[in-house]
C-alpha cells in the first residue's frame, strides 16, 4: 500500500502560493543549558554555533543579515519570498524586549513572508508566549523545539535537561497561538536501538505539526566527539538510516510536515559518519529506497 508524506516544499506552496527559501539569521541569544541556568555544557551533540552553524553574523542588523543571506543564496532565491529563520541557540531566552524588536524587524521586512524561531520548550513561559502570539498575528510563525528523543535515559545521556512533560505543555500552549510547531528528533543517538527511535517518532507524531529528522552527527568540539573517540558508540550506516527514515515516514500521520530528512551540520567539523557529508548522494540513495518502498511525497 503506497504511503504519502507532506514535504515542507509542498506545504509552503500551499501556504504561501510560492516556493520559499529560508534565510538563516541570528538573534545573538544564549542557551540556559549552556550558561548554567538549567545545565552546563549544553546538549552533548551541540556545536559551538548552538546548532545553527549556517546563520548570518549576529554582529549586524536584521536587515543587513537578510541582505547578506540573500546574496549567499544567489540566483536560485532571487525574487522569491523568504522565511526568516533564527535557528542558533535558544530563540526565546534572554532580553525579550530586544528579541521582540529583532523578530519584528524581520517579520515586517517586505521580502519576509514568515518567521521561524528555534527554542527550548522550557523557555516558553507566559511572557515568551505573549511575544510569540504578537508575532504570529503579523505573519505565519513556526516554532521549532529540539526534543531529540522521547527516551528518558537517552535524554539524560545527551544532557537535554528538561522532561517530556515540559515538551507536552509547550506543544499545547503553542497550539493555542496558532503556531506551526516543528519538533527536531535525532536518529542514531548512543544506546538507542531501532525500537527506541521509532518510539520517539510515534510519540512526536501525536503532538507535532512538522518534524525534522536528523541523522546523529558527531562534530568536532562537542562532548559527543570525546565519547565517540573513546569508542562508546558507533554512528549509523547509510542503509540503517534510510530504513529508519522510511519506517518513520510510515509511522507519522500524513498531515505532519516533513521539514528535513537528513542532517545539517557544518562539513568542516564532521567527524562521523563521513558518508553523510555527501548530501547529494545521501538524498539520491534515500529517495531511491523510499520509492522502492512506495513511500512518496504528496503533490501540490
Ligand atoms: S538546547 Fe539547543 S542550543 Fe542549547 S545546548 Fe541544546 S542543542 Fe545547543
* Closest atom, ligand 1, to C-alpha of 89: 3
52 in contact with ligand 1, CB cutoff 6 A: no
209: which DSSP letter? S
Check the CA dihedral 30-130-104-97 and report its sign.
negative
Cβ distance 81 to 112 under 8 Å? yes
d(CA 203, CA 186): 13
- Could you tell me if the CB of 43 is within 6 A of ligand 1? yes
184 lines ligand 1 (CB under 6 A): no
Taking the centre of ligand 1 as the mean of its atom positions, its distance from the CA of residue 265, in whole angstroms, is: 14
Gap from CA of 3 to ligand 1 centroid (Å): 33
Single out the residue of 103, 59, 71, 67 nearest to residue 85, CA to CA.
Answer: 103
Q: Tell which one of 27, 36, 89, 157 to mutate to probe ligand 1, the residue whose CB is within 8 A of the most ligand atoms.
A: 89
Cα of 62 vs centre of ligand 1, distance in Å, is 22
Spell out the per-residue pLDDT of the chain, length 300, in tens: 789 999 999 999 999 998 999 999 999 889 999 999 999 999 999 987 655 555 666 667 899 999 888 888 888 778 889 999 999 889 999 999 999 999 999 999 999 999 999 999 999 999 999 999 999 999 999 999 999 999 999 999 999 999 999 999 999 999 999 999 999 999 999 999 999 999 999 999 999 999 999 999 999 999 999 999 999 999 999 999 999 999 999 999 999 999 999 876 678 899 999 999 998 999 999 999 999 999 999 987
Residue spans of beta strands (DSSP E) within the chain: 3-7, 21-25, 82-86, 112-119, 141-148, 180-187, 210-215, 218-219, 257-260, 270-272, 295-297
Find the 23 Cα to ligand 1 centroid distance in Å: 20
**Bond preceding residue 152 cis, omega within 30 of 0:** no
Q: From CA 30, how far away is CA 159, in angstroms rounded?
A: 16
180: helix, strand or coil: strand
Q: Is 120 in the pocket of ligand 1 (CB under 6 A)?
A: yes
Amino acid at each position: 500500500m503506497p504511503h504519502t508524506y507532506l514535504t515542507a516544499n509542498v506545504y509552503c506552496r500551499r501556504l504561501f502560493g510560492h516556493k520559499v527559501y529560508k534565510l538563516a539569521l541570528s538573534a545573538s541569544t544564549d542557551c540556559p543549558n549552556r550558561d548554567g541556568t538549567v545545565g552546563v555544557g549544553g546538549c552533548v551533540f551541540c556545536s559551538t554555533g548552538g546548532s545553527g552553524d549556517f546563520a548570518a553574523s549576529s554582529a549586524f542588523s536584521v536587515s543587513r543579515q537578510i541582505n547578506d543571506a540573500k546574496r549567499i543564496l544567489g540566483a536560485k532565491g532571487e525574487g522569491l519570498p523568504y522565511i526568516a529563520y533564527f535557528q542558533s541557540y535558544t530563540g526565546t531566552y534572554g532580553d525579550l524586549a530586544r528579541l521582540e524588536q529583532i523578530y519584528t524587524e524581520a517579520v515586517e521586512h517586505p521580502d519576509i513572508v514568515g518567521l521561524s524561531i528555534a527554542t527550548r520548550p522550557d523557555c516558553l513561559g507566559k511572557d515568551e508566549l505573549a511575544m510569540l502570539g504578537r508575532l504570529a498575528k503579523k505573519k505565519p510563525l513556526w516554532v521549532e523545539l529540539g526534543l531529540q528523543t522521547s527516551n528518558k535515559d537517552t535524554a539524560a545521556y545527551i544532557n537535554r535537561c528538561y522532561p517530556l512533560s515540559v515538551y507536552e505543555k509547550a506543544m499545547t500552549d503553542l497550539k493555542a497561538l496558532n503556531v506551526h510547531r516543528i519538533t527536531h528528533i535525532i536518529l542514531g543517538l548512543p544506546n538507542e536501538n531501532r525500537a527506541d527511535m521509532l518510539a520517539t517518532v510515534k510519540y512526536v507524531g501525536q503532538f507535532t505539526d512538522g518534524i525534522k529528522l536528523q541523522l546523529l552527527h558527531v562534530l568536532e568540539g562537542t562532548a559527543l566527539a570525546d565519547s565517540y573517540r573513546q569508542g562508546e558508540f558507533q554512528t549509523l550506516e547509510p542503509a540503517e538510516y534510510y530504513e529508519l527514515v522510511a519506517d518513520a515516514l510510515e509511522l507519522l500521520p500524513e498531515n505532519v510536515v516533513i521539514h528535513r530528512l537528513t542532517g545539517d551540520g557544518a562539513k568542516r567539523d564532521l567527524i562521523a559518519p563521513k558518508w553523510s557529508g555527501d548530501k547529494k548522494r545521501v538524498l539520491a540513495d534515500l529517495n531511491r529506497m523510499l520509492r522502492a518502498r512506495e513511500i512518496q511525497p504528496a503533490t501540490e
